[in-house]
Amino acid sequence: MTSSNPSKPALQFGQIVIGPPGSGKTTYCRGMQEFLSHLGRKVVIVNLDPANEGLPYPCAVDISELVTLDDVMDGLKLGPNGGLIYSMEYLEANMDWLENKLKHHHGYYFLFDCPGQVELYTHHNSVKNIFAQLSKWNFRLTAVHLVDSHYCADPAKFISVLCTSLSTMLHVELPHVNVLSKMDLIEQYGKLAFNLDFYTEVLDLSYLVEHLSSDPFFKKFHHLNVKLAEVIQDYSLVSFVPLNIQDKESMMQVLRTVDKANGYCFGDLEERNLQAMMSAAVGADFQFSTTLSVQEKYMEATGKTVKDEVMDL
């Protein structure tokens, strides 16, 4: 007996790579493509950023074939932000173009390289609607939100990052993985006030708020900072995975987290390739890196207690 309902298309898996400008989205896409290829996973990159020029990776689908930021700015006399918003609205109105392009890559794993304008993921609905349409086409996607790790060195910026990450998670409505990128540069702009797990697990923010109040400029905003910290902790959604794009262990930790979020299952061939790669990298008795080992690798060790370091800061 045949069913009257048309059969759904096969499941497609992938990552939506988002984050503020300069957070390393394009570099992440290139590195993740190479990493997945070594694992034996067929992968393609879809560039959804109309401002991306001179892409460093082979691109299977490029939004510039549909619309470019320069053309929008010149033709409609818009600035960069307005041009990006218009471009996303234009893509939303022409989803048939994207559907036809994606049809040629069935059976592949997708990396969507997205624009860096924060408002697209916290306020505007076009990108959210595009992601929702992809889900209707049976794509199982995880949003990978990249944030510069050096923001951890500035308590005010870190609280802002937490607010942005939370707002993005609630607005985009996809399985979500927040990533602290460029871990090798985490202390480039100053030492951290607390251990790395305080930032990755977003522990008791009252300590961070108190540390912020020691600055005369932020002292007058103490009550506001307390309320922001309460909102973040009441939702209890935000946490981070540390990433150094040049470190195989770090890449594997991110990939495992992403695959767990969207339900991707390893194939036998890919698992064997993974074991061979990791054995070559760190020996046969490989254990996935913990936050502590990441801290030891990228942060300068001191003999001081956390309290002493806070007083120094």
Query: What is the rounded average pLDDT of the residues 43-67?
Result: 90
Which residues neighbour 163 within 8 Å (Cβ) at sequence distance 6 or greater? Answer: 228, 231, 232
pLDDT at residue 49, as a whole number: 92
pLDDT at residue 296, as a whole number: 62
CA 224 – CA 218 distance, rounded (Å):
10
CA 170 – CA 165 distance, rounded (Å):
9
| pLDDT of residue 129 exceeding 50 | yes
CA nearest neighbour of 63 among 164, 247, 71: 71
CA 216 – CA 225 distance, rounded (Å):
14
Q: Give tens-digit pLDDT for 181-200.
A: 988 888 777 788 788 888 88
CATH number of the 12-186+241-273 domain: 3.40.50.300
pLDDT at residue 268, as a whole number: 54
| pLDDT of residue 289 exceeding 70 | no
Q: Which letter, b or e, does each residue of 215-240 get, where b requires 16 or more Cβ atoms within 10 Å of its Cβ?
A: eeebeeeeeebeebbeebbeeeebeb
Query: What is the rounded average pLDDT of the residues 127-132?
Result: 95
pLDDT at residue 291, as a whole number: 59
The long-range contacts involving 273-277, CB below 8 angstroms and separated by at least 24 positions, are 273/38, 273/39, 273/40, 274/39, 277/38, 277/39, 277/248
CA nearest neighbour of 152 among 227, 217, 240, 223: 240
Give residue 262's identity as a one-letter amino acid code.
N
Q: Give tens-digit pLDDT for 76-118.
A: 999 999 999 999 999 999 999 999 999 999 889 999 999 988 9
Q: Give tens-digit pLDDT for 295-307.
A: 666 566 555 544 4
pLDDT at residue 1, as a whole number: 45
pLDDT at residue 284, as a whole number: 36
Lowest-confidence range among 30-39, 165-174, 250-259, 281-290? 281-290
User: Could you tell me the CA-to-CA distances from 182 to 84, 92, 149, 158, 259 in Å, in that order?
Assistant: 26, 32, 6, 15, 21
- Mean pLDDT score across all residues of the chain: 83
pTM for this prediction: 0.84
| pLDDT of residue 293 exceeding 70 | no
pLDDT at residue 34, as a whole number: 94
pLDDT class for 263, splitting at 50, 70, 90?
confident
User: Could you tell me the CA-to-CA distances from 15 to 24, 57, 113, 175, 233 in Å, in that order?
Assistant: 15, 16, 9, 10, 26
Query: What is the rounded average pLDDT of the residues 244-251?
Result: 89
Which residues neighbour 287 within 8 Å (Cβ) at sequence distance 6 or greater? Answer: none
CA 166 – CA 155 distance, rounded (Å):
17
Laid out side by side, the sheet with 43-47 consists of: 61-62, 43-47, 109-113, 12-18, 139-148, 176-181, 240-242
pLDDT at residue 311, as a whole number: 55
- How far is C-alpha 81 from the geometric centre of its chain's CA atoms? 20
| pLDDT of residue 211 exceeding 50 | yes
pLDDT at residue 187, as a whole number: 74
- Which one has a higher pLDDT value, 147 or 276? 147
CA 27 – CA 107 distance, rounded (Å):
24
